Chains A and B, each alone.
Chain A
Amino acid sequence: MSEPLLRVSNLKKFFKVRRGFPNPETVIVRALDGISFIVQRGQAFALVGESGCGKSTAGRTILRLLEPDEGSIEFDGQDVVNADAKQMRALRKRAQIIFQDPFSSLNPRMRVGNALAEPLLVHGLMSKKEANERVRDLLEEVGLPRDAGIRFPHEFSGGQRQRLGIARALTLNPELIIADEPVSALDVSIQSQILTLLRDLQQRLNLSFIFISHDLGVVRYFCQVMAVMYLGKIIEKGPVPKIFDEPLHPYTVMLRDASPVPDPTARKAFERIEGEVPSAVNPPSGCHFHPRCPHVMDVCRKVYPEWIDVDAQRSVACHLYTEGRGGLPVAEAG
Chain B
Amino acid sequence: MTATSKIEPVLDVSNLTTSFRIGGEWYPAVRGISFSLQPNETLALVGESGCGKSMTALSVLGLVPKANGRVEADHIRFEGKDLSRLPDEEMRKIRGNGISMIFQEPMTSLNPVLPVGFQVVEALRYHQNLSRAGRERRALELLDLVKIPSAKSRFKEYPHQFSGGMRQRVMIAMALACRPKVILADEPTTALDVTIQAQILSLLNELKAETDMSMIFITHNLGVVAALADRVAVMYAGDIVEIAGVGDLFARPTHPYTEALLRSVPRSDRDTKTLYSIPGAVPPLTRMPKGCRFTARCELAVDICRKQNPPLDALAAGDAHSVRCWVRGNHDRAALKENADV
Interface, chain A (partner B; CB < 8 A): 50-51, 157-159, 186-193, 195-196, 199, 214-222, 241, 244, 254-267, 269-273, 275-277
Q: Bound complex: CA of A266 vs CA of B268, how far in Å?
A: 12
Q: Which of A159, A218, A272 contacts B281 (CB 8 A)?
A: A159
Report the interface size for chain B: residues with CB under 8 A from the other chain: 45
A261-B223, A262-B222 known; A192+B277 contact, CB < 8 A: yes
Q: Which of B147, B149, B262, B269 contacts A266 (CB 8 A)?
A: B269
The 5 closest A-B pairs by CB, nearest first: A260-B223, A221-B266, A216-B268, A270-B198, A258-B198
**What chain A residues lie within 8 Å of B49 (beta carbons)?**
158, 186-187, 190
Interface, chain B (partner A; CB < 8 A): 48-49, 147, 149, 163-165, 192-199, 201-202, 220-227, 229, 246-247, 250, 260-262, 264-269, 271-272, 275-278, 281
**Contact (Cβ within 8 A) A157 B222:** no
* 16 contacts across the A-B interface (CB closer than 8 A): A51-B193, A159-B281, A191-B264, A192-B265, A195-B277, A221-B275, A244-B268, A260-B194, A260-B198, A260-B224, A263-B269, A264-B229, A264-B246, A265-B250, A267-B227, A272-B147
A192-B276, A217-B223 known; A258+B268 contact, CB < 8 A: no
Q: Which of B48, B202, B269, B277 contacts A261 (CB 8 A)?
A: B269
**What chain A residues lie within 8 Å of B48 (beta carbons)?**
187-190
Q: Which of B165, B197, B265, B266 contacts A258 (CB 8 A)?
A: B197
Q: Bound complex: CA of A174 vs CA of B149, how far in Å?
A: 46
Closest approach, in angstroms, between the C-beta of B149 and any C-beta of chain A?
A: 4
**What chain B residues lie within 8 Å of A260 (beta carbons)?**
194, 197-198, 201, 221, 223-224, 226-227
**What chain B residues lie within 8 Å of A277 (beta carbons)?**
163, 165, 195-196
**Contact (Cβ within 8 A) B226 A217:** no
Closest approach, in angstroms, between the C-beta of A197 and any C-beta of chain B?
A: 9
Q: Which of A189, A190, A258, A264 is the most central at the interface, judged by chain B CB atoms within 10 Å of its CB?
A: A189
Chain B's closest residue to A184 (CB) is: B190
Q: Which of B195, B225, B265, B272 is the most central at the interface, judged by chain A CB atoms within 10 Å of its CB?
A: B195
Q: Bound complex: CA of A263 vs CA of B193, how far in Å?
A: 20
**What chain A residues lie within 8 Å of B246 (beta carbons)?**
264
Closest approach, in angstroms, between the C-beta of A102 and any C-beta of chain B?
A: 15
**Contact (Cβ within 8 A) A259 B250:** no
Q: Bound complex: CA of A262 vs CA of B224, how far in Å?
A: 7
**Contact (Cβ within 8 A) B164 A262:** no
A260-B226, A262-B226, A277-B163 known; A217+B195 contact, CB < 8 A: no
A50-B194, A264-B246 known; A196+B277 contact, CB < 8 A: yes
Q: Could you list 6 further interchain pairs (A-B, Cβ under 8 angstroms) beyond the known A189-B264, A255-B195, A258-B198?
A: A218-B266, A221-B272, A260-B197, A260-B201, A262-B226, A273-B199
